[in-house]
Amino acid sequence: MAFTHYRFRSVWTLPVPPGAVYEVLERGEDYPRWWKQVREVIPLDEHSGRARFRSVLPVDLVITAWETRRDPDAGILEIGMAGDLEGWARWTVRGGPGGRGTRAVYEQEVEVRHALMRAFALPGRPFFLVNHALMMRSGRRGLLVHLARLDADGSRD
């Protein structure tokens, strides 16, 4: 196994309809508004952009991402990425257990290209995994707050 290769999977159960979750997740340029570790997203055109991430560890990761699949009927959003991380990420948004709420599954497979992370690939791997888990947990919390705010403002039905 290459210590610079990662596969991630996170499942978020959310008490809101899948359509509302999908609508927020498909607007990548708005992620910094609700996900504090997504520090910046700069659209390059209507299907690509540049993003900067930073979680607990003092390392910024910068990627260029491009849309590879946007399928609202299937609830799938997928991007390719290059830069400090090279690979892909996908959201699959479906109805939750028992038809209530939403089950949003985030999957990612990447090769780390960031020089410092590659240099510390073996000893740093446990820290990088925890860093990612903390980022995902924070993202879920931020999304819930953002969705509640949209409801309170009447921006979402």
Of the candidates 154, 128, 147, the one whose C-alpha atom is nearest the C-alpha of residue 7 is 128
Give domain 5-153's CATH number out of 3.30.530.20, 3.30.70.1400, 3.90.110.10, 3.10.129.10: 3.30.530.20
At how many degrees (to 10) do helices 121-153 and 18-25 cross? 120
User: Which residues touch 1 (CB under 8 Å, ≥6 apart)?
Assistant: none
Minimal CA–CA distance to 18: which of 124, 85, 91, 118?
91
Q: How far apart are CA 78 and CA 135, in angstroms?
A: 19
With bands split at pLDDT 50, 70 and 90, how would you rate the model's confidence at 93? very high
Model pLDDT for residues 16-46, shown as the tens digit of each residue: 999 999 999 999 999 999 999 999 999 999 9
The answer to whether the predicted template modeling score (pTM) of the entire model surpasses 0.75 is yes
CB 103 within 8 Å of CB 12: yes
Instruction: Please report the pLDDT score of residue 34 as a whole number.
Output: 98
pLDDT at 62 over 50: yes
Q: Taking 80 as the threshold, does the pLDDT of residue 1 lie above it?
A: no
147 residue type, one letter: L
- Is 98:88 a contact under the CB 8 Å cutoff? no
